Amino acid sequence: MQGLSFSYPGSAAPVFEHLDLSLPEGGCMIIRGASGCGKSTLLRLACRLSSPASGRVLIQGSDISAMPPSQLRSRVCLVSQIPQMVDGSVKSNLLLPFTFAANAGKQRPLDAGLMEMLMDFHLPDISLEQSAVKLSVGQKQRLALMRALLPGPELLLLDEPTSSLDRESTTMVFSIIERFNAEGKTIMLVTHDEEAPSGPRTKTLTLVNGKLIET
**The pLDDT of residue 105:** 85
Query: For position 159, which CATH number holds?
Result: 3.40.50.300
Residue 178 lies in a domain: yes
Residue 186 has pLDDT above 80, yes or no: yes
* Res 165 pLDDT > 90: no
- Mean of pLDDT values over 66-90: 93
Task: Determine the 3-state secondary structure of 140 from DSSP.
Answer: helix
- Structural domain includes residue 91: no
As a whole number, the mean pLDDT across the chain is: 92
With 80 as the cut, is the pLDDT of residue 21 above it? yes
pLDDT of residue 104: 84
Domain membership of residue 158 as a residue range: 2-86+144-214
**Residue pLDDT, tens place only, 85-113:** 999 999 999 999 999 988 988 999 999 99
Residue 122 lies in a domain: no
Q: How many domains does the chain have?
A: 1
**Can you give the pLDDT at residue 179?**
87
In a domain, 31, yes or no: yes
In a domain, 54, yes or no: yes
Strand partners, 189: 30, 158
pLDDT tens per residue, range 32-53: 999 889 999 999 999 999 999 9
Q: How confident is the model at residue 122 (pLDDT cuts 50, 70, 90)?
A: confident
DSSP-assigned letter for residue 152: -
Distance CA 133, CA 84 (A): 8
Question: The whole model's pTM is what?
Answer: 0.92
Which residues lie closer than 8 Å to 97 by C-beta, 6 or more apart?
77, 103, 147, 148, 150, 151
Whether residue 39 lies inside any domain: the answer is yes
Taking residues 6-29, report their average pLDDT: 90
The verdict on residue 107 lying in a domain is no
Residue 118 lies in a domain: no
